[in-house]
A and B are shown apart, each in its own frame.
Chain A
Amino acid sequence: MDALLFLVFAAIAVICGINLVVQTHPISSALSLVGVMGALAALYLLLGGEFIAAAQLVVYAGAIMVLFVFVIMLLNAGTERKLAIRPWGKYLGAPLLLLFLGMMAYLIQRILPPSSPVVFGAFQGGTPAEIGRSLFTVYLLPFEVTSVLILIAILGAIVLARKEVD
């Protein structure tokens, strides 16, 4: 069952990812990205990362992508112009891509130590309580530094967006 669900959501993620690149209209691409995010959330859930899955939905699919779509709609971005593909790109593109992917797969397989395969449901530390505990004990410093960074970003956004007052 887990393997079946994994295959379904992995397929959705890959198809949406390809669609994201193939589509010419920004809205279609943005919505494909939403599909990728949603499928990824389901994959996190399968692996036991419940909090990460929810955060993926709330933050990425729910907030950031809505903002993307909002901006695209506001600017009324049109269909992108297709550039003419040069002949050598047309014939060499696909083989070069396959070669690159093969090399990457080979290298990753060589470099990474042989590890036991992932087992669905084996990981138990993904509940919000566990995540919170490790954020406030083991990873306290990175967590606080990130908060300060976000605070600075918020201040910067306010400064940039503020109306000039004479």
Chain B
Amino acid sequence: MNFYLLSLIKTVIVVGIFMHVLAYLQWIERKVIAHVQLRVGPRRVGPHGLLQPLADVIKLITKEDILPSHVNKVFYFLAPFVAVTFALISISIIPFGPEITVAGVRTNMGLTDLNIGVLFILGISGLGVYGVALAGWASNNKYALMGGLRSSAQMISYELPMALALAAPLLLLNTLSLREIANGQAGYYLGFIPRWSIFQMPFPQIFSFMLFLIAGFAETNRVPFDLPEAENELVAGFHVEYASMKFASFFMAEYANMVTVSAVATLLFLGGWHPIFPEQYGSGLVPVAIFAGSALLCFMHAASPARPFDKYTLPVFGVLFLGAAALFLLPPVKPILLPLFWFSAKVGIILFVFIWVRATLPRFRYDQLMRFAWTFMFPVSLVNLFLTALLVAVNS
């Protein structure tokens, strides 16, 4: 098939799914945090608040777009664009699964693959900070400026341990292309321990994984490193002067960065789309079991409804879950859905950790943040890289 047409179709699919993931990630975050804090979270719009993201989008689009009189107009408009553009670009080189055949066309799951993929991710994430820094500066507001300054200093500091933590698994896998990195983690030790980087000999990369995740929290400005938008000190930090869709752009950029960090962690450390135990022990049936179990749960609760309308709503969800389970048994779609399931399961778990940490940990103080980066993260990641290099050299 024509390369341009194929790329266009894949782009439309990936962008469409990505945008929905971003919107629903926010719903999941609100729900999870609510349940951690013994609340119920959004439930007014749609069943269990499932249409809340749609309502939020409509609200954000139709809000009055206030232009403060004292801002630097060019950079004030430029900043959200920069932030959201560099946050969304990274998805283009993330591979979601192996090579598949759809309707007679062989293609890779994922938009493209660069032989400098990891470096590209690092470069793009480094450029993303301009959005935040510019927003802080152009707002001409002391709180916003403080947020922008904090963000740029924080990003520069945490970029170093992040790059060092990324370099260690690359020594084991010997490539910079994300697709080859994922393929290099296929297979199992002793028939059941996956050869993911965090288990891979000669030096399991579990420390790199932790360091990368911590640095990822800082790079995406998430709690406990969300100093650039610390509400109780800076009102809202760098985006305090933004309203409507410009505010939503920053929001979207933050969630897109979260997804990117989780996807990169999955690909580099958790084996990408390779299942956690081999196919012959039935790893292909895991999604079926999960969805069928959910369906069963729905039907059980529908049989003894806690509220009157549960009798009608829960069977609908049960049938939907059963349909999803049946989809994973169909031979033509199974090779497409199975890698996608494992990939999104791993990304989803890391995203859940992001939300869980936000609900659990308090914020750092700024000097603690900096001291942590330079006196703990940096030396530890250097030692980790050195040990990995030593063991790889001795082993080969």
Contact = CB atoms under 8 A, between A and B. Distances in A.
Interface of A: 27-28, 31, 34, 38, 41, 50-51, 53-55, 57-58, 61-63, 66-67, 69-70, 73-74, 127-128
Given A70-B133, A73-B145, A73-B148, A58 B75 contact: no
A62 B152 contact: no
Contact of B176 (A62, A69, A70, A128): A128
Contact of B159 (A63, A73, A74): A63
A61 B123 CA distance: 8
A27 B116 CA distance: 30
11 contacts: A34-B127, A50-B115, A50-B116, A51-B116, A58-B123, A61-B123, A62-B123, A62-B159, A69-B133, A73-B148, A128-B176
B133 A61 contact: no
B269 interface: no
Nearest to B163: A58
Nearest to A128: B176
Given A50-B116, A127-B115, A57 B136 contact: no
Nearest to B122: A58
Interface of B: 74-75, 114-116, 119-120, 122-127, 129-130, 133-134, 136-137, 145, 148-149, 152-153, 155-156, 159, 163, 176
B145 A69 contact: no
Given A27-B75, A70-B149, A74-B149, A58 B133 contact: no
Contacts of B159: 62-63
A67 B148 contact: no
B126 A58 contact: yes
B75 A62 contact: no
Top 10 closest pairs, chain A to chain B, by CB: A62-B126, A57-B123, A54-B119, A70-B152, A58-B123, A54-B116, A50-B116, A73-B137, A58-B122, A66-B152
Nearest to A54: B119
Given A66-B152, A70-B156, A61 B127 contact: yes
Nearest to A27: B137
A63 B156 contact: yes
A50 B113 CA distance: 13
Given A57-B124, A128-B176, A66 B115 contact: no
B149 A58 contact: no
A54 B114 CA distance: 11
A54 B148 CA distance: 25
A128 B116 CA distance: 8
B147 to A, nearest CB: 11
Nearest to A67: B156
Given A27-B75, A27-B137, A73-B137, A66 B126 contact: yes
